[in-house]
Amino acid sequence: MLRYLIRRLGQALLVVAGVVVLTFVIMRLVPGDPAVAFTGPKATPEELAAAHRRFGLDDPIPVQLLDYVRDLLSGDWGISLHTKQPVRDDLYLAFPASLELVGTALVIAVVVGIPVGVLAARFKTKFPDIGVRLGSVLAVSIPVFWLALALQLVFASTLDWFPIAGEYDGELDTTSPLTLWTNITIVDALITGNWPIFTSTLHHLVLPALVVAAYPTGVIAQMTRAALIEEGGQDHTRLERALGFGETSILTRFALRPALNPVLSLIALVFAYSLVNGFLVEAIFNWPGLGRYAADSIRSLDTPAIAGVTLLVAVMYVLANLVVDILQGFVDPRTRAR
Amino acid sequence: MTEAAPAEVRLRRTLPRIPDRFAALGAVLIVLIVLAAIFAPWLAPYPADQLNPVEAVRPPSGAHWFGTDQVGRDVLTRVLYGGRTSLFIAVAVLAASSAVGVTLGVVAGYAGGWVRDVIMRITDVFLAFPALLLSLALAMVLQPSVNTVILALAVTWWPWYARLAAASAASIATRGYVDAARCLGVPAPRIVLRHVLPNSLTPVLVQLSLDAGGVLLISAALSYLGLGAQEPTAEWGLMVQEGQTLFTTNWWVAMFPGLAIMVTAFAFNVLGEGLRNALDHRSGGARRERAEPASAEAAARVVK
Of the two residues A14 and B101, the one the predictor is more confident about is B101
Q: Which of A16, A137, A265 sits opposite B299 (nearest CB)?
A: A265
Eight-class DSSP state of A153:
I
Evaluate the CA torsion angle A103, A104, A107, A112 in order and state its sign.
Answer: negative
Q: How far apart are CA A13 and CA A79, in angstroms?
A: 25
Q: What is the average pLDDT value for chain B, to the nearest integer?
A: 79
Q: How far is A38 from chain B (nearest CA, A)?
A: 16
- Cβ atoms within 10 Å of A338's Cβ, excluding its own: 12
3-state SS class at B57: coil
Secondary structure (DSSP) of A6-53: HHHHHHHHHHHHHHHHHHHHHHHT-SS-HHHHHH-TT--HHHHHHHHH
Q: Between the ranges A45-59, B149-163, B232-246, where is the mean pLDDT highest?
A: B149-163
Q: Rounded to an integer, what is the distance from CA A229 to the centroid of its chain?
A: 29
**Given pLDDT bands bounded at 50, 70 and 90, which one contains residue B1?**
very low
Q: Which of A19, A133, A219 sits opposite B128 (nearest CB)?
A: A19
Q: Which of B128, B143, B296 sits opposite A328 (nearest CB)?
A: B296
Contact A136, A213 (CB under 8 A): no
A48-52, B75-79, B255-259: the lowest-pLDDT one: A48-52
Q: Which of B132, B255, B291 sits opposite A262 (nearest CB)?
A: B291
Nearest CA in chain B to A284: B244
Closest by CA to B110, choosing from B204, B199, B183, B185, is B199
Neighbouring-strand partners of residue A86: A79
**Given pLDDT bands bounded at 50, 70 and 90, which one contains residue B285?**
very low
pLDDT at position B94 over 90: yes
For residue B60, report the phi and psi dihedrals to the nearest 5 degrees.
-55, 140
pLDDT per residue over A243-258, tens digit each?
Answer: 888 888 888 877 787 7
Q: What is the pLDDT of residue A210?
A: 92
pLDDT at position B6 over 70: no
**Given pLDDT bands bounded at 50, 70 and 90, which one contains residue A109?**
very high
Q: What is the pLDDT of residue B23?
A: 81
**Given pLDDT bands bounded at 50, 70 and 90, which one contains residue B289?**
very low
Does the beta carbon of B262 lie under 8 angstroms from any beta carbon of chain A?
yes
**Given pLDDT bands bounded at 50, 70 and 90, which one contains residue B265?**
very high
Torsion of CA B124, B125, B129, B130, to 10 degrees: -20
pLDDT at position B96 over 90: yes
3-state SS class at B37: helix
Contact A87, A305 (CB under 8 A): yes
Residue B5 buriedness (CB in 10 A; 0-12 / 13-18 / 19+): exposed
| C-alpha distance from residue B167 to each of B162, B172, B243, B253, B277 (Å) | 9, 9, 45, 46, 19
CATH superfamily of A95-332: MetI-like (1.10.3720.10)
- Whether the complex's predicted ipTM surpasses the cut of 0.90: no
**Given pLDDT bands bounded at 50, 70 and 90, which one contains residue B91?**
very high
CATH 3.40.50.2300 holds for B64-283: no
- What average pLDDT does this structure show over A270-278? 84
Q: For residue B216, give every residue at least 6 positions away whose Cβ sits within 8 Å of its Cβ, in sequence order, or none.
A: B86, B87, B89, B90, B261, B264, B265, B268
Q: How far apart are CA B161 and CA B167, in angstroms?
A: 10
Pick from B125, B218, B236 the residue to mutate for testing the A interface (most A CBs within 10 Å): B125
Contact A36, A49 (CB under 8 A): no
**Given pLDDT bands bounded at 50, 70 and 90, which one contains residue B9?**
low
Asked if B295 lies within 8 A of A262 by C-beta distance, the reply is yes
Neighbouring-strand partners of residue B68: B74
Q: How far apart are CA B37 and CA B288, in angstroms?
A: 39
**Which pTM value belongs to this model?**
0.82
- What average pLDDT does this structure show over B187-208? 83
Domain segments of chain A as ranges: 2-73, 95-332
| C-alpha distance from residue A113 to each of A82, A100, A269, A274 (Å) | 40, 19, 15, 15
Evaluate the CA torsion angle B14, B20, B23, B24 in order and state its sign.
Answer: positive
- Show residues of chain B in contact with A21, CB under 8 Å: 125
Q: How far apart are CA A73 and CA B7, in angstroms?
A: 70
pLDDT at position B304 over 60: no
